[in-house]
Amino acid sequence: MVMEKTDWSALGFDYRKTDVNARYTFTDGKWSEMEITEDEYIRMHMSASCLHYGIELFEGLKAFRGVDGKVRLFRVEDNARRLQSSAERLCLPVPTIDMIVDACIEVVKRNERHIPPYGTGASLYLRPVMFGTTVGLGVKPAKDALLIVYCSPVGAYFKSGIKPMPVAIDREQDRAAPRGTGDVKVGGNYAASLLSGEKGHSLGYSNIMYLDAAEHKYIEECGACNFFGIKEGKYITPKSPSVLPSITNKSLRQLARDMGLEVEDRRIPVEELPTFEECGGCGTAAVITPIGKIFDMQTNAVYEYGSEVGKVSMELYTRLQDIQYGRAEDIHGWCTIVM
């Protein structure tokens, strides 16, 4: 069978078909029971609200096969809560935490043969996705919705893995406006980031660093990652209403405290960049990806952090993955053991 030939260590971050996905539909003011299906497709009306007005949101989380053979879902309830806040922001029906968590657990269990073995560096990525399906033409909230949870085995998001990546600052397009939707995980934010992302890629940069849209003075996010900088025994990360509250970043802040670092959650002006000893991007897909170089596309300034992973970033990465793969005690209660 195809699965027996999988070279798990060579997986990138891409969709691969698995066995089943879980779905809930919202119609007539109520949610259906969970449905498990092998179908990868959905049949939808051409005038469904998600297609025209971007009434769509998603989540991303991972399940890991641990050193002890157990399968752990990382911080699934935090993802469920963030999904709820995205649904509220888009005036979509809000599923319960239990519905989301149950679907994630069910999808992991029923796709067990697709969970990458321990030691391959790969994991099972879960993608809850939800959208409005009401047929209409006017701009108004959807009364009907579909929530799907599916999964795909994945390897590293950035081809460079834990090797430092080059990123570029762009002020020509913003990702998210103050009081816009930057703090929730909705598809429109990603659509808005594509043009600058492509510009960065064409110049050889892995990712775009966005600045705050109001003043273009402060660091916001780094593509689909939060940003962090390390200096003088501190873990520093941007505080902004238009940054996605990353669950990885929240975990790293805790791990940084555990390591005796001070944690600062505050605005970070671009001028502070040369003072960082290490910096990186963090997220479910990217885990920690150190930043080796930052190029400012408008001022031509270059900030260099070296071609090796910094000591603090490496320790944070190791501590995080040790918990995810069951090599260290889960003292903060972040993992749900699925089986």
Site for ligand COI, rule CB under 6 A: 60, 224, 283-285
CB of 224 to ligand COI, least distance (A): 4
CB of 177 to ligand PLP, least distance (A): 14
Burial of residue 185 (number of CB atoms within 10 Å: 0-12, 13-18, 19+)? buried
CB of 23 to ligand COI, least distance (A): 20
Residues contacting ligand PLP: total by CB under 6 A: 12
The C-alpha atoms of residue 296 and residue 300 are separated, in whole angstroms, by: 5
> Residue 247's binding partner, choosing from ligand PLP, ligand COI, none, with beta-carbon cut-off 5 to 8 A by kind?
ligand PLP
The one segment of 2-10, 131-139, 200-208, 239-247 that binds ligand PLP by CB under 6 A: 239-247
> Is residue 247 a contact residue for ligand PLP (CB under 6 A)?
yes
> Residue 100's binding partner, choosing from ligand PLP, ligand COI, none, with beta-carbon cut-off 5 to 8 A by kind?
none
The β-bridge relationship of strands 61-65 and 262-266 is unpaired
Q: Do 322 and 260 touch, CB atoms closer than 8 A?
A: no
Q: Which two tokens mark 310?
A: 């910094």
Q: CA angle at residue 113 from 317 to 154, to 5 degrees?
A: 35
> Residue 226's binding partner, choosing from ligand PLP, ligand COI, none, with beta-carbon cut-off 5 to 8 A by kind?
ligand PLP
**Calculated CA dihedral for residues 44, 45, 46, 49, nearest 10 degrees:** -90
Please compute, for residue 54, the number of CA atoms within 13 A of its CA located in the half-sphere on the CB side.
11
CB of 180 to ligand PLP, least distance (A): 13
What count of other Cβ atoms lies within 10 Å of the Cβ of residue 222?
Answer: 27
Instruction: Calculate helix-pair angle for 311-324, 247-258, nearest 10 degrees.
Output: 110
> Is residue 197 a contact residue for ligand PLP (CB under 6 A)?
no
Question: What residues contact 104, with CB distance under 8 A and at least 6 apart?
Answer: 61, 73, 76, 79, 80, 126, 128, 149
Q: Kind and range of the H or E element at 99?
A: helix 97-110
Q: Which of 132, 283, 292, 310 binds ligand PLP (CB under 6 A)?
A: 283
> Is residue 128 a contact residue for ligand PLP (CB under 6 A)?
no
3-state class of 16 per DSSP? coil
> Is residue 284 a contact residue for ligand PLP (CB under 6 A)?
yes
Q: Which of 48, 60, 122, 290 binds ligand PLP (CB under 6 A)?
A: 60
Q: Which of 21, 84, 196, 226 binds ligand PLP (CB under 6 A)?
A: 226
Pick the catalytic residue: 185, 234, 239, 293?
A: 185
Residue 114 DSSP class: G
Is residue 185 part of the annotated active site? The answer reads: yes
Q: Which of 129, 130, 225, 320 binds ligand PLP (CB under 6 A)?
A: 225
* Contacting ligand PLP within 131-190 (CB under 6 A): none
> Is residue 242 a contact residue for ligand PLP (CB under 6 A)?
no
Provide the annotated active-site residues: 185
- Residues lying near ligand PLP in the complex (CB under 6 A) are found at 60, 221, 224-226, 244, 246-249, 283-284
